Amino acid sequence: NNATSFEWHFQGGSPSSSNLANPSVNFNSGGIFAITLISSNAAGSDTITQNLAIEEGAQSAFTFDYTIGETQASFYSQATDADSIQWIFDDGTTSTQDTTTHDFGADGIYSAALAAFSNCGNDTLIQEIEIVTPPTADFELNASSGCAPFTVQASDLSSSNTTSWSWSAPGATPDTSSQQNPSFTY
């Protein structure tokens, strides 16, 4: 090599140009970038352009569908630049499918994670999902008969996901209540 001057141009690079013989350049995003070198000496110059392919690391992204009242949800990978993915759920269940379903089994707040892998970097996204199913109403009375005036205590035995109560006791005082464990007098 008998070049005495160098003129580099780096599409998408930082720096975008250099006059050094062996420059260093950074590329902060993926893509195909043209690199041009014009080398010169007293006899003239020559130009060469080559393309450089830069891959980005995997980026994890996903959405999910869930119907209130059900314990199963569907998950959809939107990962980019990933060679492979893995879903990870709270109970240890995993999947490597782009689209998967998971049954959480009961009410609660759960985590779903999507790990995306590539040779250029990995990424994991964790999202929470709240499972809410309809409550099951149930109660017992402390007595089923007595002499007037008679006060009966109602004890709520509804499922644990119950968040409000609406009692109706026609002929009692009071005849309605929103308490969890009300008393009624007949």
Residue type, 89: F
Other beta carbons within 10 Å of 121: 14
- Which of the two residues, 159 and 157, has the higher pLDDT score? 157
Task: Decide which of 126 and 68 is more confident.
Answer: 126
Average pLDDT, the chain: 94
Give the helix/strand (H/E) hosting 125: strand 123-131
The β-bridge partners of 183 are 153
- Cβ atoms of 124 and 60 within 8 Å: the answer is yes
Q: What are the structural domains, with CATH classification, of the chain?
A: 5-54 (no CATH), 62-131 (2.60.40.10), 135-186 (2.60.40.10)
Distances in Å between the Cα of 157 and the Cα atoms of 17, 72, 116 are: 75, 26, 45
- Percentage of residues of the chain with pLDDT beyond 90: 83
Task: Please state the rounded mean pLDDT for residues 64-81.
Answer: 94
pLDDT score, position 135 = 86
Q: Tell me, what's the pLDDT at 1?
A: 64
Tabulate helix, strand, coil % of the chain (nearest 5): 0, 50, 50
What residue type is 165 in one-letter code?
A: W
Q: How far is CA 68 from the centre of its chain?
A: 18
155 has pLDDT over 70: yes
pLDDT digits (tens, 9 = 90+) for 82-132: 999 999 999 999 999 999 999 999 889 999 999 999 999 999 999 999 998
Token pair listed for 67: 């119907």
